[in-house]
Copies of this chain bind each other. A is one copy, B any other.
């Protein structure tokens, strides 16, 4: 258990000063090639690695981003994390990942952790119950950029990156109308969430404009299990749906389970279309047509926005990740 090498040790072994060693390791032009070589050779031999704590302390900078999300285990946030990690590594940053478990108290604690770690910036997706975002706004005032992603505050004075909820829902509605669906079982998530509201509004609006005679059976399903139940119930009614719209992967999964149970085939017995991150639609045969709501793309966009903020731009932006329709076999 030998202690890690330091500039001091290198300099002592080489009979050089600390600053010379430091400069040699940075390939500073002032240092002679001969000295550089000596320094590098010993550094490699002793496997010198600069101490990031000392660097950060000295330079008052940090190469770490905080990422605060409700929960890690989710198809969507996985994609976001993977995407952010990729970008961060490319730019020599690291990611401090903190899950709030949808608990505002843990969220506050996580913000504190970010402060203590003097992170360069924060990506945050709010827990469902968070009402007060002043802790975040304070960070922004202190010069730490905060990029809200996906579950963003209503507040307009902050940087937000979202799925283009309205656009995506509209694309789905278009596809349904184009396919002349007349009786659509339309399953939406918790209506307290802003993303649900946005999707619902845009979806219904499109129908009233372009297919006022279509019957939309709008149902709230707060979980996968509820989606299964509600779908089963819907097919007990005399007036069977000719299509199903699922607002999210979670709902799609519940619905598909019901269809399997009812031994209904898609698209022959009923059409299906979902909004999805792109994984679960491929689990079924035929595969489910979906409007892509990509966590991966969201991560990329959020990262680029972070970079702009780090460069000093203080103006606020609200960006959306474009959606696109992926027609597969179910509609």
A253 & B283 in contact (Cβ 8 Å cutoff) = yes
* Residue from B47, B71, B141 within 8 A of A1 (CB atoms): B141
A198 at the interface (CB under 8 A from B): no
Contacts of A52 in B (CB 8 A): 53, 116-118
Contact pattern, A 201-229, Cβ under 8 Å of B = 1, otherwise 0: 00000000000000000000000000000
Write out, one digit per residue, whether chain A residues 38-68 have a CB within 8 A of any chain B CB (1) or not (0): 0000000001011111101100001010000
- CB-contacts of A1-21 with B (<8 A): 1-4
User: Which residues from B are CB-within-8-Å of A98?
Assistant: 85, 89, 94
CA of A260 to CA of B282 in the docked complex: distance in angstroms?
A: 12
Report Cα–Cα, A96/B117, bound state, in Å: 12
A257 within 8 A of B: yes
Question: What residues of B have a CB within 8 angstroms of the CB of A256 in the complex?
Answer: 283
Binding-face segment, A76-84, A148-156, A185-193, A300-308: A76-84
Closest to A75 in B: B73
- Is A113 in the interface zone, CB < 8 Å from B? yes
Bound-state Cα–Cα, A117 to B64, Å:
10
Min C-beta distance of A43 to chain B, whole Å: 13
Chain B residues, Cβ within 8 Å of A81: 72-73, 97
Bound CA span A116–B63, Å: 11
Residues in B neighbouring A95, C-beta threshold 8 A: 96-97
Copies, count: 2
A261-282 Cβ-contact flags toward B at 8 Å (1 or 0): 1000000000000000000101
A174 and B115 CA atoms in complex are apart in Å by 53
Cβ contacts under 8 Å, A56 to chain B? 53
Q: How far is the CA of A143 from the CA of B94 in the complex (A)?
A: 23
A49-B97 contact given A257-B283, A257-B284, CB 8 Å threshold: no
A138, CB-defined interface residue at 8 Å:
yes
Q: How far is the CB of A145 from chain B (nearest CB, A)?
A: 11
**A174 to chain B: closest CB distance in Å?**
27
11 new A-B contacts, CB < 8 A, other than A52-B118, A72-B81, A85-B97, are A1-B142, A2-B142, A51-B118, A52-B53, A52-B117, A57-B57, A73-B79, A73-B82, A85-B98, A85-B99, A257-B285
Query: Could you write out 23 A-B pairs with CB less than 8 Å apart?
Result: A3-B142, A47-B115, A47-B138, A49-B112, A49-B116, A52-B53, A52-B116, A52-B118, A53-B53, A53-B56, A71-B82, A72-B78, A72-B81, A73-B79, A73-B82, A81-B97, A85-B97, A85-B98, A85-B99, A89-B109, A256-B283, A280-B283, A283-B283
